[in-house]
Chain A
Amino acid sequence: MDSRAILAEIPRLRRYARALLGDRAAADDLVQDTLERAWSRIDQWRVGSDLRAWLFGIMHNLRVDQLRRPPPPTRPVEEGDCDLPTRPTQTDGLELKDLESALNQLPDEQREVVLLVALEDMAYADIAAMLGIPAGTVMSRLARGRERLRQIMAGLAETPASRLRVVR
């Protein structure tokens, strides 16, 4: 394995982790753990296969492990079958910041697919293979995630007008 090939993937791994976790330090920790695990399993890497997809797959599995480890008291509803309440966003600042907080309101599974498509332009079939889920599930997560994000952003855009409402 060429170290330069791995080095070349680090910026993309960082960007995706950053977007996924919304936290710079936690993202770099995840990238570091990903590279550690990659080296420990380097014999599973098939020469000529897609290095990026392999590394992203490792990162995904690590993330799943991390989320699974401390059993959380609650977890997002799979595929968002019902409308979940969203946190108050009145204090959020700039529009870019709003997009970030809107992304953070998506269930993990949806955010993951939305980001892989947006940032990596990864083909749906490749995402399905990487995440180990059917292509139809990728599509439904993408569709729900995008629509949810659109609605959250639309809601935010209306906030300034509706915030100052005279009561009585």
Chain B
Amino acid sequence: MNPNTVKESDLHAYVDGALPAPEREAIARLLAELPGEAKRVRDYQEQKQAINHLYGATLDEPIPDRLRAMATPPHLPDSTASAALPHGHPGRLPSWSLQRIAAGILIAILGGAAGWIAHGQYPSAERIAAAVPLPRQAAIAHAVYSPDVRRPVEVSGEQEEQLVTWLSKRIGTPVKPPKLGKLGYELVGGRLLPGNIGPVAQFMYQDGTGQRLTLFVSTENTANQETAFRFAQEGPVNVFYWIDGKFGYALSATIDKGELARLATAVYEQIEGK
């Protein structure tokens, strides 16, 4: 190797002050005779300073409450950390990790079960095109979005008019979330989801204890004309569903079957009553 060049790794170690004194001095002597390399060293040093300057202010910014709260172990909620939480998360923080873990396990179970069932029912080439049955679609969507503390919905229930307009437009037919306030459930909001062949809608509700309920509305029904209430269970998620013409409705929650039936009846009456 040419003694009058600086090894690339040494050059960077020099820039970063990572060399022991004798080597550092040897490199400095070499650089004095290599103006091109010396310029690169200066450029890299300036670059490093500029990066620090660019992002340095972030270090002095106050830590947002949501991150400050995360410095406390989840199972030992610190009263000051909880008090610092913004409204809208009443006492939900301590259980966040359990919720996430439960959701993760459920998704794994549902995914595994769906895969296993699909594997048994369809040849692999057709598996991709196989339609997912309504209750399973609804249960998976429930398992994915209902544990989400930060972003459970795309459009919040506070902007219900916008939500209705948007979802109706996207799924190509008027849809309106039923009112479940009398049963203790308030609308959190809704989101658009991919169904088997196009967009479907999900509305989310929550009661005073944070228990969530989702109503899945699909307009993809073509074959099944059965209108009766049906019940399905996917892991811990209970689902009541029914078909009305091209519409399929599915109400999902991790609550007791009887309680869910009562809610499903109320939803059914409101939707079909119109």
Contact = CB atoms under 8 A, between A and B. Distances in A.
A117 B9 CA distance: 14
Given A119-B51, A142-B12, A146-B44, A10 B67 contact: yes
A118 B45 CA distance: 9
Interface of B is mostly: helix
Contacts, number: 96
B50 A99 contact: yes
Contact of B47 (A18, A39, A150): A150
Interface residues of A, number: 41
Interface in B11-42: 12-13, 16, 18, 40
Contacts of B73: 1, 3, 39, 42
Given A18-B55, A142-B12, A28 B78 contact: no
A115 interface: yes
B77 to A, nearest CB: 11
B78 A3 contact: yes
A100 interface: yes
A7 B12 contact: no
A14 B71 CA distance: 13
Contacts of A39: 70, 73-74, 97
A139 interface: yes
B70 A36 contact: yes
Given A15-B59, A146-B44, A150-B43, A118 B51 contact: yes
Interface in A101-153: 103, 114-115, 117-119, 121, 123-124, 139, 142-143, 146-147, 149-150, 153
Given A7-B68, A28-B64, A146-B12, A14 B58 contact: yes
B125 interface: no
Contacts of B74: 39
Given A18-B58, A146-B47, A35 B67 contact: yes
A6 interface: yes
B161 interface: no
B53 interface: yes
B48 interface: yes
Interface residues of B, number: 38
A36 B67 CA distance: 10
A10 B64 CA distance: 10
Contacts of B150: 29
Nearest to A150: B43
Interface of B: 8-9, 12-13, 16, 18, 40, 43-44, 47-48, 50-56, 58-61, 63-64, 66-68, 70-74, 78, 96-97, 100-101, 150
Interface of A: 1, 3-4, 6-7, 10-12, 14-15, 18-19, 28-29, 31-32, 35-36, 39-40, 42, 96, 99-100, 103, 114-115, 117-119, 121, 123-124, 139, 142-143, 146-147, 149-150, 153
Given A7-B71, A31-B67, A150-B43, 13 more contacts: A10-B71, A11-B58, A11-B61, A19-B54, A19-B55, A35-B71, A39-B70, A96-B54, A100-B54, A114-B51, A118-B47, A139-B9, A150-B44
19 contacts: A3-B71, A6-B71, A7-B63, A10-B71, A14-B61, A14-B67, A15-B59, A35-B71, A39-B97, A96-B53, A115-B51, A117-B48, A119-B51, A124-B18, A139-B9, A143-B8, A143-B9, A146-B44, A150-B40
